[in-house]
Amino acid sequence: MTYRAPLADFRLLLDRVLGFDQVAATALFADAAPETVEAILTEAAKLCENTLAPLNRAGDKTPARLENGVVRTSPGYSDGYKAITEGGWVGMSANPEYGGMGLPITLATCVNDMMGSACLALQLNPLMTQGQIDALEHHASDEIRSLYIPKLISGEWCGTMNLTEAGAGSDVGALRTRAEPKGDGTYAITGQKIFITWGDNDFSANVCHLVLARLPDGAPGTRGISLFMVPKFLPKPDGSLGARNDLKVVSLEHKLGLHGSPTAVMQYDGATGWLIGEPHKGMAAMFTMMNNARLGVGMQGVSVAEAALQQALAYAQDRKQGRTPLGEGAIIDHADVRRMLAQMKAETFSARAIALACAVAIDMARATGDAAWAARAALLTPIAKAYGTDTGNEVAYLGVQVHGGMGFIEETGAAQFSRDVRVTAIYEGTNGIQAMDLVGRKMMDGGEAAFRLIDEVQAAAEAARAEVPDLSKDLWTAAEALREATEALVAMSGHDRNAGAVPYLRAFARVLGAHYHLAAALADRARMPLTRFAIRRLLPEHAALLAQVREGAEGLYALTPEALGL
């Protein structure tokens, strides 16, 4: 497949829809001037189109493998990683004090979008490192920051996070990995972790693992967990590498997709580690990395959606079959194929807009210290992650469908998108967990952040009433229904909220997506047909979703195992 970066969509969203100019107007991000943004997007597009995209099929056909304890990566991945690091792309948003560019998360998110479309399996590596850099900047000691962050930014070292254990899964508090003080300021880490993305490789000098473990006096559950830096090689004070640490890759998982990304089972046998943050406060530190990764993973869903859309559109324009309302021609002229392609495009744009709106909020919160921006970023993070990855899965599914029988044949590459993107709805917190976070933690303010966002949607719809009365009315009405459902949700018990969490998140995304589509169409009239499709054909789903929210939990628990036929 020939991938082309969606630069026009980035420019439209940043310049005319999401208000990125307010980010660039802050003192912290004053360097993010329009000419700088244009140069970054253009150069990143070249990297992704010319260097990374050709690696995507190679990683799928020749997976990473474990040979005599050494991870061998897919053909070309070493060169691709080198190109990423030499361009400085890993540390785009990292602190300049340690060698980063100090650019907005919004720009880094755009670049990650392009990299994920080009080669998702490889892009996972710098994404994990970026999350680790963020966690260390916020929680590590000065000594750890000075030693590790420059190496991570340069790409000389890579970063991972180690949460999951067999038998614990999403219940992180059930972990059994332990940390024993060694009396010299370090700790002996012992235990096994599973599902460790890029747990090792053959192209970086060191792999730095952030590992959750429990100290001897740690309380049960998540309150007693601490976080430790456990590198593959023990660094000396000058940053050179010393002895190999007591850790190893036990095996690599055999996965549905993302074959080029080695997912490891890691064993720690008294490995030397350093405490990150305060004892027993590891979850707070790890959540910094996880929240960074959640936005990144949401954009990974968008990435795959974009790639699947581009391939399906090219195929539909080339494949000739049957008679259409427009005469003899390609299958894109069949109504249902046109419908599928329009849905793919509309959903991808909505999910990209929501993810970048989240990134803008993160940047504004960081640059201004405004609690309202921080609350918006927190609210949008689970929506960006869940809706973005649901979109990736749904668009990849439609991409296979557009190809017809050829979509089921591996040689076309359409199936790889479906296989690769499937896990994004699972890792970094399943989408059900994201939805419960939205209706739980993110509504602890009584829905204030949600209501502020709904107010903006309705104000924009009202302002557009003179130009597009039908579309603005539909959007305003949907936003009002979302407001009323949010009021009802806030009054519910947590049990009932959780039962309607997934449809609530989806309905919120539907309204936000329509809002950003309308703003885009008002900025560029050529987009009006797509906006009309999104508002008239996709937005109405919100009503059925919000009806589910009001049902609560009782009906679900009436469905006993016996009622389900088990």
Q: What is the DSSP string of 34-68?
A: HHHHHHHHHHHHHHIIIIIGGGHHHHHHS--EEET
Lowest pLDDT segment from 219-228, 238-247, 412-421, 504-513: 219-228
Check pLDDT > 80 for residue 358: yes
Which of 417, 292, 413, 439 has its CA nearest to residue 348?
A: 417
Question: Which one of 2.40.110.20, 2.60.120.860, 3.90.110.10, 3.40.190.10 gives the CATH number of domain 159-280?
Answer: 2.40.110.20
Residues 303/282, Cβ–Cβ less than 8 Å = no
pLDDT digits (tens, 9 = 90+) for 100-121: 999 999 999 999 999 999 999 9
Residues 277/179, Cβ–Cβ less than 8 Å = no
In terms of Cβ atoms closer than 10 Å to its own Cβ (0-12, 13-18, 19+), residue 416 is buried
Check pLDDT > 90 for residue 222: no
Residue 278 CA to residue 27 CA, distance in Å, equals: 31
Q: Which of 165, 306, 394, 428 is catalytic?
A: 428
Tokens of 309: 């859309």
Mean pLDDT of 124-147: 96
Higher model confidence: residue 168 or residue 371? 371
Name every residue whose Cβ is closer than 8 Å to that of residue 526 and which is 6 or more positions away in sequence: none
CATH architecture observed for domain 432-557: Up-down Bundle (1.20)
How would residue 284 be classed by pLDDT, with cut points 50, 70 and 90? confident
Q: Where are the domains of the chain?
A: 159-280, 432-557
- What's the pLDDT at 1? 65
Residue type, 499: A
pLDDT digits (tens, 9 = 90+) for 311-325: 999 999 999 988 888
Residue 43 CA to residue 471 CA, distance in Å, equals: 37
How would residue 566 be classed by pLDDT, with cut points 50, 70 and 90? low
| pLDDT over 70, % of the chain | 99
How would residue 290 be classed by pLDDT, with cut points 50, 70 and 90? confident
Name every residue whose Cβ is closer than 8 Å to that of residue 554 and which is 6 or more positions away in sequence: 496
Residue type, 355: A
The 3-class secondary structure across 270-300, one letter per residue, is EEEEEEECCCCCHHHHHHHHHHHHHHHHHHH
- Check if 428 is active-site: yes
Helices (H) and strands (E) in the chain, counts: 19, 13
Residues 231/208, Cβ–Cβ less than 8 Å = yes
Check pLDDT > 70 for residue 302: yes
- The predicted model scores a pTM of 0.97
Lowest pLDDT segment from 214-223, 224-233, 337-346: 214-223
- What's the pLDDT at 511? 98
| pLDDT over 90, % of the chain | 91
Residue 364 CA to residue 378 CA, distance in Å, equals: 12
Lowest pLDDT segment from 138-147, 169-178, 399-408: 169-178
How would residue 326 be classed by pLDDT, with cut points 50, 70 and 90? confident
